[in-house]
Amino acid sequence: MNKQTIRDLPDEAVRGRRVLVRVDFNVPLEADGRVGDDTRIRESLPTLSHLLDRGARVVLLSHLGRPKGKPDPKYSLAPVADRLRDLLAGPDVAFIPASAGAAVVEATRSMRDGSVLLLENTRFHAAEESNDEALARAFAELGDVFVNDAFGSAHRAHASTEGVARHLRPAVAGLLMEKELEYLGRALATPERPFVAILGGSKISGKIDVIEQMLPKVDHMLIGGAMACTFFRAMGLETGKSLVEEDRVDMARDLLARGGEKLVLPTDARVAPAIDQPAAAATVARDRILPGAAMFDIGPASAAAFAAIIRTGRTVVWNGPMGVFETAGFEVGTRAVADAMAEATRAGATTIVGGGDSAAAVAEFGLADAMRHVSTGGGASLEFLEGKTLPGVDVLDERVA
């Protein structure tokens, strides 16, 4: 990576200084208000420990959810402070219900070395998402050094991810950010072959750029999820009530022609009259989807064929489920992909799960630790794989040769 990281900072840049760290603590909250899946918090611990061990005063900024630019107790980071306190087990972790202004600056100035101060949701300011200059400057006053460890938000040019770094130097990457960029970057730039990409999810429109970007690089591209149906339509097949993006059928036809044998589509499907009727599901060949049925998962023959290709891979990148894995009965294809990736990992392959739904699926199957890397970024990993510049990374200090 050509960006500086916290490892490039000399101890004196950190000891006793206020280190402002943008983390992505956008985690799910349970009905009782407590943190659900805390992966994103746990993944920030190496960066936090690195700084705390060096006597930094760590000030944390994050968003949570989409509160529409005004305070909303439903999206408070207070429960995250409790979980962080448990996970860090030692250092003081304080929380204040604000993220900018004189009182917050004052609070950062009265911190002790080796302590943590988590601030309230940055999106309680409407100016956060518009990357407002004044708010970016206000955030910059909260630290002496800026660290961006929020890979999951690196595709957003917001005041706390991009704007702040223009006003606070040094501005460097944290260890999670570094790890994410290295895994994804190496997979795209110097993949060990065979290189297999698995793409799923409902819509081809959300994946078109990643298909375009990766098709020339991979040896095999497996397509599952409802988006396979847009390809089926392009092949002239009946797709019944399946989700098809009519305005993308020509594009799918063009990709089929260009992809040739690299592009592998399901040969069978699990279909049902409706998503809430998994008990009525049947397996049919892809050219036997009836007008009253819709595809909710890839079929068993496709799952086996996909798994066989995945097991041959030395680099495997996966983004998007093969079916409606949240519904029992339609999770089989997604599980087969996850199992095959776990096997490939055991055989020494570099397996990378893009964040979002695929990461949720491997977590649900209990297979997160069986992968080489599970990204904490959904939209961010997708944009990275699309070859886009991530503004939260781009703004950081370059490494000098």
CB neighbourhood size of 347 (10 A): 12
The residue annotated as part of the active site, out of 203, 253, 288, 388, is: 203
In whole angstroms, how close is the CB of 377 to ligand 3PG at the nearest point?
6
Longest CA–CA separation in the chain, Å: 69
Catalytic residue among 240, 313, 356, 392: 356
Q: One of 3, 40, 83, 248 is an active-site residue; which one?
A: 40
Give how many residues touch ligand 3PG by CB under 6 A: 8
Residue 153 binding ligand 3PG, by CB under 6 A: yes
What x/- string results for residues 159 through 198 when contact with ligand 3PG is judged by CB under 6 A?
Answer: ----------------------------------------
User: Binding residue for ligand 3PG (CB under 6 A) from 7, 66, 74, 112?
Assistant: 66
Instruction: Confirm whether 203 is a catalytic residue.
Output: yes
Residue closer to ligand 3PG (CB basis): 323 or 377: 377
Query: How far apart are CB 41 and ligand 3PG at their closest, in Å?
Result: 13
Assess whether 241 carries a catalytic annotation. no
Question: Does 156 sit near ligand 3PG (CB under 6 A)?
Answer: yes
| Binding residues for ligand 3PG restricted to 70-89, rule: CB under 6 A | none
Between 238 and 326, CB nearer to ligand 3PG: 326
Query: 128: closest CA among 271, 41, 46, 26?
Result: 26
How far is residue 153's CA from residue 161's CA, in Å, rounded to a whole number?
A: 7
Q: Which is nearer to ligand 3PG, 323 or 378 (CB)?
A: 378
- Minimum Å gap between C-beta 319 and ligand 3PG is 13
Q: Are 306 and 198 in contact (CB under 8 A)?
A: yes
Compute CA 177 distance to the chain's CA centroid, rounded to the nearest angstrom.
11
Which one among 79, 152, 174, 200 touches ligand 3PG, defined by CB under 6 A?
152
CA-CA-CA-CA dihedral for 85, 86, 88, 93, to nearest 10? 10
Which window, 83-91, 98-106, 150-158, 209-217, contacts ligand 3PG (CB under 6 A)? 150-158
Smallest gap, in angstroms, from Cβ of residue 355 to ligand 3PG? 7
* Residue 289: closest CA among 332, 200, 206, 229: 229
Q: 347: which 2 tokens?
A: 């055989």
Nearest to 227 by CA among 328, 298, 133: 298
- Distances in whole angstroms, Cα of residue 367 to Cα of each of 25, 336, 340, 360, 370: 22, 12, 11, 10, 5
Window 345-384: contact mask with ligand 3PG (x via CB under 6 A): ---------------------------------xx-----
Give the integer Cα–Cα distance in Å for 30 and 52: 29
- Using the minimum distance from each CB to ligand 3PG, give the nearer residue, 297 or 383: 383
When asked if residue 266 is in the footprint of ligand 3PG (CB under 6 A), the reply is no
Burial letters 301-315, b for 16+ CB under 10 A, else e = ebbebbbebbbbbbb
CA 308 from centre of chain:
26
Residue closest to ligand 3PG when measured from CB atoms:
26
Concerning whether 377 is annotated as a catalytic residue, the answer is no
Of 31-39, 86-94, 152-160, 367-375, which segment contacts ligand 3PG by CB under 6 A?
152-160
Quick one: tokens of 266? 């399901």
Assess whether the previous peptide bond of 266 is cis (omega < 30° from 0): no
**Is-catalytic flag, 356?**
yes
Grouping H, G, I as helix, E, B as strand and the rest as coil, residue 88 is helix
If you search the block for the tokens 């960006």, which residue do you land on? 3
Q: Which is nearer to ligand 3PG, 154 or 340 (CB)?
A: 154
End-to-end CA distance of the chain: 12
Where on the chain is the footprint of ligand 3PG (CB under 6 A)? 24, 26, 66, 152-153, 156, 378-379
Residues annotated catalytic, as ranges = 40, 203, 356, 379
